[in-house]
Amino acid sequence: MNIYDISKQAGVSIATVSRVLNGSPKVSPKTKEKVLQVMEQNGYVLNAFARSLGLNTMRTIGILCADASDIYLASAIYFLERELRKNGYASMLCCTGYHLEERQQYLQLLLSRNVDALFLVGSNFVEKSALKNSYLKEAAKKVPIFILNGSMAAKNIYSILCDDRQSILELTNSILLSGSASPIYLYRSLNYSGKRKLEGFLDACKSNGIASPSSRAFPCPPNIMQASVFLQDLADTGFYFDACIASDDELAVSAVKYAQASGRQVPGNLQITGYNASLLSVCSTPEITTVDNRVEFMCVTAVSLLMQVFDGKDIPAQTMFTGNIISRATTHI
Amino acid sequence: MNIYDISKQAGVSIATVSRVLNGSPKVSPKTKEKVLQVMEQNGYVLNAFARSLGLNTMRTIGILCADASDIYLASAIYFLERELRKNGYASMLCCTGYHLEERQQYLQLLLSRNVDALFLVGSNFVEKSALKNSYLKEAAKKVPIFILNGSMAAKNIYSILCDDRQSILELTNSILLSGSASPIYLYRSLNYSGKRKLEGFLDACKSNGIASPSSRAFPCPPNIMQASVFLQDLADTGFYFDACIASDDELAVSAVKYAQASGRQVPGNLQITGYNASLLSVCSTPEITTVDNRVEFMCVTAVSLLMQVFDGKDIPAQTMFTGNIISRATTHI
DNA sequence: TTGTAAGCGTTATCAC
DNA sequence: GTGATAACGCTTACAA
């Protein structure tokens, strides 16, 4: 059942059928009615492939992320998909893992499906070496690329991100102001966002006269228990700290677990903060002070910017917004 | 740049170019070499739309779920996408929310994109009334449908799920055996999986001589704090319970929070269990005893079954597997 | 307001 | 092995 069949039965040309299909105003109500009726009767469905071939678009956007099961990335995917759908675009999802080679390969997979644009969610997509990023620049020649929560300067590549440096800076300042004098910073990776957060911590320490701040920043093992043990070991070496600024909520949970296991009072003699305002931050007891980096806002904005690009408008290469500190029970702030 | 251009430059016909493109063995090495060289020189890329039109498939699978930010659904999406990609299929994601109307609408969206099959993740897709499920049967006439963690009998619809009833039954039995005499069951919704879990609880209570078990099952408010307050209120009415069997980890976290707020010892005079073996179950302190319902296994199996369907093989309409109780610190088991 | 006809870039079926 | 040529089902000038 295609538009030829419909056109015959309705006694019109295929062009008219197509016009009805695309809601053209240049069809008489009567004709339109008739055509729709015939379509209805025959359970006609439009062939997306044929339409795509003509229009050279399938109104589909590719979403790349390292791991859709990550609680933060998952929420970003959710919001992106919702906004895209509102605008009539479908979402093609691809989880790349954390290796450059796979990222390149899966990006090709999406491009080969002729997506109209790409969203890269998470700052791990931007490598330090320009050479390793060249595949992105190459891809950007075909479709606009949006990097969410990461940044990279190149033609047809747009970045949108929370000012993580500023958030951690303010958070650390508040923690120091509220009585802590020996903060430590805990992180997992130093991708773009990771580096910015670390900068925020270091800068806050410096401006508050904390000695050798970089010796107070620690890379932590990935899982909750391991990270908790790591802190216990650190404390056992005699290294003193009275505040843990964690780069994400999961790491903050580890700190809470460490505190509970070693009998330290939170926030009494150990303040703890997380990042992302995820469900994890309220699952722990006490509930964790964290930073809302406005995933929903980021996604809504990103989609809105994409639509502007499609409309041929000129948009800024980078859009940065501020986060919001959510004070809870693990701090005095 | 299309195959006509290539064929001209290479001095062959478009059919030969197409054969090279599709790795047909019926091309002489020399010709193949030449064609590939011309393609390379011109940076030729195949047009996915045209190919799809010819083949009538784009090797794309639609994944429908209520909410991709849900920690359980997110992991399912992750595993599904990974497995599909391994088999050369892309994934189109659509989050439907929890309303029937939207589910129908978004299912149409995916069908209109000509996906080759549909995965419905979560038992909320199956309605109680057969009439409300008719849209699924209709869709199944076009493409095979897989329901993950739910069940429905119809042609071209396949179900794959964990035996949640059995898991909760065993869990409840163990809890009762370990000393609790007044268990309560906490749940959020009574979709297919929800009903099965409740049955497991009720059956276990009956076989252990617990009086009027159905008066011991409670629907809870959605968010963590509200559910915790709900339990406090319940206790305040004088209703006694010494074990909380929760239908998911988040609800179990609420129970832990209630216990901590009201000074009850866990598991001393209150045992608590969750479900899903999610990150939430280890974020809480004490870590929560839970059921691993094997999301990864479910997804890997589902994709494998789909590939068998594509191969024209006959597969069972329903596949059910057992869960695995993970004993942690909130129980005596 | 409607119709004709030329694309869109492949794959598939023949014949040679 | 290779080449013509007909689908595939739609959009869209251009004509009427």
Average pLDDT across each block of 10 residues of chain A; the chain has 333 residues. List them in order: 89 89 86 90 87 89 96 97 93 94 90 93 88 92 95 96 98 96 96 95 97 97 96 97 98 97 95 97 96 98 96 94 98 95
Domain termination site, one of B10, B35, B58: B58
* Domain match, B271 and B172 both: yes
pLDDT at residue number A258: 98
Among residues A252, A112, A91, A239, which one has the least CA distance to residue A168?
Answer: A252
* Last-in-domain residue among B37, B58, B79: B58
Please give the pLDDT value at position A123: 87
Residue A6's contacts (CB-CB under 8 Å, 6 or more residues apart) are: A14, A17, A35, A38, A39, A42, A44
B133 and B191 in a single domain? The answer is no
- Closest to B163 in 3D by CA, of B203, B119, B222: B203
Asked if residue B329 belongs to a domain, the reply is no
Q: What is the C-alpha to C-alpha distance for residues B218 and B232, in angstroms, rounded to an integer?
A: 13
- Joined tokens for residue A236: 């056992």
Distance CA(A115)–CA(A62), nearest Å, equals: 6
Q: Are strands A324-326 and A290-292 parallel, antiparallel or unpaired?
A: antiparallel
How many Cα atoms are found within 13 Å in the side-chain-facing hemisphere of B51? 15
Query: Given A20, A35, A58, which residue is the final one in a domain?
Result: A58
Residue A330 lies in a domain: no
Spatial CB neighbours of B230, under 8 Å, sequence gap ≥ 6: B218, B220, B221, B254
* C2 C1' closest Cα residue: A16
Residues A132 and A280 in one domain: no
Distance from CA of A206 to the nearest CA of B (A): 33
Residues A142 and A192 in one domain: no
Nearest nucleotide to A7, CA against C1' atoms? C3
In angstroms, rounded to a whole number, what is the distance separating the alpha carbons of residues A230 and A221?
A: 8
Distances (CA, A) of B190 to A256, B216, B318: 34, 15, 20
B289: DSSP letter: B
Pair B155, B222 in one domain: no
* A224 contacts B282? CB cut-off 8 A: yes
Q: Give residue for tokens 């700052």.
A: A123
For residue A93, the Cα-to-chain-centroid distance in whole angstroms is 13
* CB-based contact, A283 to chain B, within 8 Å: yes
Same-domain status, B78 and B138: yes
Assigned domain for B233 exists: yes
Query: CB within 8 A of B295, min separation 6: which ones?
Result: B72, B75, B76, B79, B276
Residues A243, A130 share a domain: no
Compute CA distances A82 → A88, A115, B124, whole Å. 10, 17, 19
CB contact at 8 A, B200 and B164: yes
Q: Give the chain A residue whose CA is nearest to the CA of B142.
A: A45
**C-beta of residue A329 within 8 angstroms of C-beta of residue A286:** yes
State the greatest distance between any 2 C-alpha atoms of chain B, in Å, as a whole number.
Answer: 90
Which chain A residues have a beta carbon less than 8 Å from that of B280? 279-280, 283
User: Is A328 within the bounds of a domain?
Assistant: no
User: Cβ distance A123 to A191 under 8 Å?
Assistant: yes
| Spatial separation of the C-alpha atoms in residues A54 and A308, rounded to whole Å | 23
Same domain, B157 and B300: yes
Q: What's the pTM value of the predicted model, to 2 decimals? A: 0.94
Supply A305's token pair: 């910017």
Round to whole Å and give the CA distance between B30 and B43. 20
**Residue A333, in any domain of the structure:** no
pLDDT confidence of residue B302:
98
Distance from CA of B34 to the nearest CA of A (A): 23
- Structural domain of residue A175, as residue ranges? 164-293
Residue with tokens 């001095």: B11
A193 and A272 share a domain? yes
Q: In this structure, are B124 and B88 located in the same domain?
A: yes
At position A282, the amino acid (one-letter code) is: V
Helix B71-86 × helix B295-310 angle, to 10°: 40
pLDDT recorded at residue B271 = 98
- Both A279 and A308 in one domain: the answer is no
DSSP B179-209: T--SEEEEES--SHHHHHHHHHHHHHHHHTT
Number of structural domains (chain A) is 3
Q: Is residue B328 part of a domain?
A: no
Measured between alpha carbons, how far is residue A265 from residues A171, A257, A260, A271 in Å?
20, 11, 8, 9
Any domain includes A331: no
Please tell me whether residues B206 and B148 are part of one structural domain: no
CA of B61 to C1' of D13 (A): 36
Please give the C-alpha separations between residue B76 and each of A54, A75, A260, in angstroms, as whole numbers: 35, 14, 32
- Helix H segments across chain A? 3-10, 14-21, 29-42, 48-55, 71-86, 100-112, 130-140, 164-177, 192-207, 224-236, 249-261, 279-283, 295-310
pLDDT of residue A265: 95
- For residue B242, give the nearest of B286, B288, B171, B182 by alpha carbon: B182
- Which residues, in sequence order, are CB contacts of A307 under 8 Å at separation 6+? A87
A109-141 burial, b at 16+ Cβ within 10 Å, e below that, comes to bbbebbbbbbbbbbbbbbbeeeeebebbbebbe
Return the CATH number at B42: 1.10.260.40
- Chain A residues with CB inside 8 Å of B60's CB? 92, 113
First to last CA, chain B: 67
CATH code, B257 = 3.40.50.2300
What is the rounded distance in angstroms from the CA atom of residue A300 to the CA atom of residue A76?
A: 10
Nearest-CA distance B89 → chain A (Å):
9
Instruction: State the alpha helices, DSSP H only, in chain B.
Output: 3-10, 14-21, 29-42, 48-55, 71-86, 100-112, 134-140, 164-177, 192-207, 224-236, 249-261, 279-283, 295-310
Instruction: Give, in order, the Cα–Cα distances in Å from A274 to each of A169, A247, B130.
Output: 13, 6, 47
Residues with pLDDT less than 70, chain B: none
Residue B331 domain-assigned? no
Chain D bases near protein CB atoms (7 A cut-off) = 1-13
Question: Are the beta carbons of A289 and A274 closer than 8 angstroms?
Answer: yes
